[in-house]
Amino acid sequence: MVGAVAGAATFKSQVGHLIITLGGNVSPKAMPKNEYVSVKTNIFGKIGTDNGTHPSALREVVVDIDKDTKLNPKGYPSCKPGQLEARNTAAAKRVCGKATLGNGIAHAQISFPEQPPIKVTSPITVFNGGGTPARTKLLIHTFLTVPVPAAIVTQVTIQKRGTGVHSVAKIPVIAGGSGSVLDFKFKLGKTFAYKGKKVGYFEARCPDGKFLVKSPKILFKNEADIVGQPAQTVLKGSVGVPCTPRG
């Protein structure tokens, strides 16, 4: 299992036997009150059950960040989902390496009927899927070797909403419905040159000491037909990610 991010803000939510913990932090922690600067974020999550059964499959995550954040995808290389599908991690990086925004690791559990669960490990690579500051897309690539080699490409749509951002991640079916994500951890963010100026793909400012992050919908589906679990479960939560105002 991956460990929590040091100094991260976290929230934990449980419905029935299903439990999810999500967290993250932003660096640098100290940033201007009014001027936007390039930032990176560490994000992690853990999924499990309180009775040791195979967890339902994570299928959708909706996240709202309240204010003082923005995206600058213009001028950064981009990649399309079709360039990542059916490619392992090394091949995906060869094709779309210039569009990389972050890296990490994930674990999943494959549960076939009347067989012991199989735990698999996969690198995570996050690519820029292209777009505008108002609406852009991230592509999260993982590659599983069990039960058969397969690329999993999660598409995350991020759009400006008021003074903050609204994101929706759609996670594909894993191993025909027999697979569930157990945990993940990755770092995200890049600084690059655009029109002779250094900009951050993600930028933020810190006027009041925190970013309020809400997840109104974390959707799970019991695709492996585990006895005692509902067909669908929705969890939600919120957390204040701290920052330090300066200037």
CA angle, residues 215, 120, 99, in degrees to nearest 5: 60
Tens-place pLDDT, residues 56-108: 999 999 999 988 999 999 999 999 999 999 999 999 999 999 999 999 999 99
Tens-place pLDDT, residues 102-141: 999 999 999 998 889 999 999 999 999 999 999 999 999 9
Query: What is the model's pTM?
Result: 0.95
Tens-place pLDDT, residues 165-207: 999 999 999 999 999 999 999 999 999 999 999 999 999 999 9
Which amino acid, 155?
A: Q
Tokens coding 205: 């400012």
216 contacts 52 by C-beta, under 8 angstroms: no
Cα–Cα distance, 96 to 77 (Å, whole number): 8
- Extents of the domains making up the chain: 9-241
197 contacts 43 by C-beta, under 8 angstroms: no
Residue 3 clears pLDDT 60, i.e. is over it: no
Identify each DSSP E strand in the chain by its residue range: 9-15, 18-27, 30-32, 37-38, 40-49, 57-65, 69-71, 100-110, 118-131, 135-144, 150-161, 164-170, 179-188, 191-194, 197-200, 202-204, 210-221, 232-242, 244-246
List Cα–Cα distances, 70 to 121, 122, 164, 166, 215, in angstroms: 32, 29, 7, 11, 18
pLDDT band with cut points at 50, 70 and 90 for residue 162 = confident
Residue 143 clears pLDDT 70, i.e. is over it: yes
pLDDT value of residue 5:
62
